[in-house]
Amino acid sequence: MDHEHMMRYLRTPAGCDGGNLHGRHWTFGLEPGGGESLEFYRNPPIEDWQGYVDENSSPTPFADAAKKYPFRYRVAKLEAAKHGWETSDYLEFAEAHRLYAKDSDFYRGNLGAFPIVNMNADTYNTIADAIGIPDRQKFNQVQDKVRGPMFREWVAYYSPLCLICFGNSESNDQNLYRYLEIFTPGDPKIEWLGKVQKNHAYHKIINDGKTHLFVLPHPTPGGGGGTDMGSDEGISALGRLIAERIW
């Protein structure tokens, strides 16, 4: 991929599912799921706009979007628990709060701009030539260098109340400082909230006291070697823990 084209692509909201940046509740993952053709990675389209759930897409658009993938419905359950709802009522919560509509109170983003399934060294090798960066770690560094300032500008301008960031399926600890460098560079201090089976949860107040940053285990069963995000009971506990900090 041409270097200038990559820089232009990375400076857009590419990879972010969207919603409403003016909303108070944001979640971020490491990179979007899905996959594309090699041609996409050679020449991704430059589209500088935010996505959102279209309320006219079905009779129950927000519930449909919330239950579409395991990651999405567990995040929806977490948001429900954080707002005092039962996790079993997450579809009703999604509809009532119009989850990720363009005028909702919610936004969902990703650090990475490229959709990649089960990213690891082997899967990255299949697209390395097309992207033009042979090393996975260097690829992350390039993305973070470009997108980090953009995301910090978003946080400073929109001042979300709650920014929840998720690790990957192996561990969130190895990604903790990556999130800190993105959202609060040069300040590694963070509150440890406790151990979640084989993983950990963290909290930090950033953005001059306006935003609560959380780094949590990946919300899939067994994520990070086994996490409570795989059960409604565990999700409810984490939701209550977050609510205690932000409300």
Q: What is the pLDDT of residues 21-58, one digit of tens each?
A: 999 999 999 888 776 788 888 899 998 889 999 999 99
Residue 195 in this model has a pLDDT that exceeds 80: no
The reported pLDDT for the residue numbered 38 is: 84
> pLDDT of 124-176, one tens digit each?
788 888 888 988 889 889 999 999 999 999 999 999 999 999 876 555 566 78
Fold exhibited by the domain 3-60+100-246: Uracil-DNA Glycosylase, subunit E (3.40.470)
Domain ranges of the chain: 3-60+100-246, 61-99
The reported pLDDT for the residue numbered 33 is: 76
DSSP-derived 3-state class of residue 107: strand
pLDDT band of residue 118 (cuts 50, 70, 90) is low
Amino acid at site 39? E
The reported pLDDT for the residue numbered 150 is: 96
**Pick the residue with more confidence: 37 or 195?**
37
Residue 233 in this model has a pLDDT that exceeds 50: yes
Supply the DSSP symbol for 171.
-
The reported pLDDT for the residue numbered 31 is: 86
Distance CA 156, CA 176 (A): 20
The reported pLDDT for the residue numbered 225 is: 44
pLDDT band of residue 219 (cuts 50, 70, 90) is confident
pTM reported for the whole predicted model: 0.91
The reported pLDDT for the residue numbered 136 is: 82
**Pick the residue with more confidence: 39 or 80?**
80
Which residue is listed with tokens 């990720």?
Answer: 100
pLDDT band of residue 196 (cuts 50, 70, 90) is low
Amino acid at site 179? Y
The reported pLDDT for the residue numbered 224 is: 46
The reported pLDDT for the residue numbered 82 is: 96
**Pick the residue with more confidence: 120 or 109?**
109
The reported pLDDT for the residue numbered 158 is: 98
153-160 contacts at long range (C-beta below 8 A, 24 or more positions apart): 154/21, 155/183, 155/206, 155/207, 155/211, 156/207, 158/21, 158/22, 159/207, 159/210, 159/211, 160/23, 160/24, 160/25, 160/26, 160/107, 160/211
Distance CA 51, CA 102 (A): 8
